Structure 1
Amino acid sequence: MTEQTNIVSSLDRVLPFQVDGLDVRGRMVHLNETVTGIIQRHNYPDAVNRLLAEAIALTSLLGSSLKFEGKFILQVQSKGAVNMLVVDYNAPDAVRAYVRFDEEALKQRIEKGETRPEQLLGEGHLVMTIDQGQYMNRYQGVVVLDGKSLEDAAHAYFMQSEQLPTRVRLAVTEMVSKQDEGPAKSEWIAGGLLVQYLPHSSEDIPHRDLHPGDHPDPEMQKTHHVTEADAWRECEALVNTVDDHELTDPEVSAETLLYRLFHENGPRVFESMPIYDRCTCSRERISDMFKTFDPEEMKDMVVDGKIEVTCEFCSTHYEFDPEDVAKVAKG
Structure 2
Amino acid sequence: MAFDPAAYGIAPAGADAVRPFAVEGLDVRGRAVALGPVLDQILGRHAYPEPVARLLAEAVVLTSLLGTSLKFEGRFTLQTQTDGPVSMLVVDFSSPDAIRAYARFDQAAFESGSGQDMDTAALLGRGHLAMTVDQGRHMQRYQGLVELDGISLEEVARRYFARSEQIPTEIRLAVGQLFTRREGAGPVRSWTAGGVLVQFLPEAPERMRSPDLHPGDAPEGAAAHEVEEDDAWVEARSLVATVRDDELTDPEVTVERLLFRLFHERGIRIFDPQPIVDRCRCSREKVEGILDSFDPHELSEMVVDDKIVVTCEFCSTKYEFDPER
**Residues 25, 197 of structure 1: 8 Å contact kept:** yes
Structure 1: tracts of 5 or more residues without a match? 1-8, 202-226, 325-331
Q: Residues of 2 paired with 1:81 and 1:120: CA distance? A: 5
Bigger CA drift: 286-295 or 18-27? 286-295
**Residues 199, 228 of structure 1: 8 Å contact kept:** no
RMSD over aligned Cα, in angstroms? Answer: 1.7
Q: Residues of 2 paired with 1:135 and 1:183: CA distance? A: 53
Equivalence for 2:137: 134
Q: Residues of 2 paired with 1:95 and 1:319: CA distance? A: 25
**Residues 84, 101 of structure 1: 8 Å contact kept:** yes
Aligned pairs for 1:274-313 (under 5 A) are 274-313=275-314
Equivalence for 1:194: 197
Q: Residues of 2 paired with 1:44 and 1:104: CA distance? A: 13
**Residues 85, 115 of structure 2: 8 Å contact kept:** no
Given the alignment of the two structures, is residue 37 of structure 1 paired with residue 41 of structure 2, yes or no?
Answer: yes
C-alpha distance after superposition, 1:106-157 (max 9, x if no partner): 344345x32x222211111111111111221110011110111000111111
Q: Residues of 2 paired with 1:242 and 1:144: CA distance? A: 26
Q: Residues of 1 paired with 2:69 and 2:306: CA distance? A: 46
**Residues 14, 254 of structure 2: 8 Å contact kept:** no
Q: Residues of 1 paired with 2:109 and 2:138: CA distance? A: 41
What is the one-letter code of the residue matched to 1:251? Answer: E
TM-score, normalization: structure 2?
A: 0.86
**Residues 122, 147 of structure 1: 8 Å contact kept:** yes
Equivalence for 2:213: none
Q: Residues of 2 paired with 1:96 and 1:118: CA distance? A: 23
Aligned length: 289
Equivalence for 1:247: 248
Q: Residues of 2 paired with 1:161 and 1:44: CA distance? A: 32
**Residues 115, 123 of structure 2: 8 Å contact kept:** no
Equivalence for 2:71: 67
Aligned pairs for 1:1-331 (under 5 A) are 11-106=15-110, 107-110=112-115, 113-114=117-118, 116-200=119-203, 229-324=230-325
How many Å apart are 1:38 and its aligned residue? 0.8
What is the one-letter code of the residue matched to 2:202? Answer: P
Equivalence for 2:217: none
**Residues 76, 131 of structure 2: 8 Å contact kept:** yes
